[in-house]
Structure 1
Amino acid sequence: MTDTVAPKPTPAQAAVIGRVRRMMLIAGLTSALAVVVVLIAIGYRLYRGEGSTTTASTDITATLPKGARIISTGVSGDRLVVTLAIGAATEIRTFDARTLKPAGKLKFVGEP
């Protein structure tokens, strides 16, 4: 059997082959860098625990003043808003939706 020998590339062909190899190297390195960045982002999100909040269960009992009624509740952004009627005054209490810690209180009282 005879082996066919590929002829040596011309200088122009060698230049094209060199450019293609360089472009393939750049594309491969860019793809590898993109995969590493995505893996780092996923690891960061998992480590920080900012993923799903449904896995964490928090049981908190909030004590209302005597005679207070809950008028309404709502969610605004990352806040839980509770409107209370306490006698003649109206009070709005806000809580952090993730931790349920009190975030603020706003009280409305009529003028005497």
Structure 2
Amino acid sequence: MTDIVVPEPTPEQAALFARVRRMMLIAGLTTALAVAAVLIAIGYRLFRAEGSTVTTDATVMLPKGARIVSTAVTGDRLVVTLEIGGLTEIRTFEAHTLRPTGRLKFVNEP
């Protein structure tokens, strides 16, 4: 077999090869950055997604004589203001599961 001899590139050809390599490196890094950004966006949406909404039915027992004054939704909390025998009470619930998360009572000073 005969070996094919490749002549050494001229200085102009060497400069052209170096420029093409540099441009390919920039294009490759840009493509890798774009692919990483897309994968990060997909991962963020998968892990932060609330998923399909689930209907939750709940029955909360109020004290005898209690009256609901107002309700509000703030972020992921449901806030219910009650009047119980002349006293005001605020109860908070988790909006997605309706699980009670807190209770705040207001009383008058004697």
TM class, shorter-length: 0.7 to 0.9
Aligned to 1:62: 60
Q: 1:75-110: CA deviations, max 9, x gaps?
A: 222221110111111000111223322111100012
Rounded Cα–Cα distance in structure 2 between residues aligned with 1:44 and 1:59: 30
Paired residues, number: 103
Q: 1:14-40: CA deviations, max 9, x gaps?
A: 313422332323322332343234224
Q: If the length of structure 1 is used for normalisation, what is the TM-score?
A: 0.71
Q: If the length of structure 2 is used for normalisation, what is the TM-score?
A: 0.72
Q: Check if 1:28 corresponds to 2:47.
A: no
Structure 2: gaps spanning 5 or more residues: 1-7
Rounded Cα–Cα distance in structure 2 between residues aligned with 1:42 and 1:64: 44
Structure 1: gaps spanning 5 or more residues: 1-7
Q: 1:24-69: CA deviations, max 9, x gaps?
A: 23322332343234224423532x3x32455222222211111111
Report the secondary structure of 1:104's partner residue.
Answer: strand
Report the secondary structure of 2:89's partner residue.
Answer: strand
Report the secondary structure of 1:43's partner residue.
Answer: helix
Moved over 3 A (4+): none
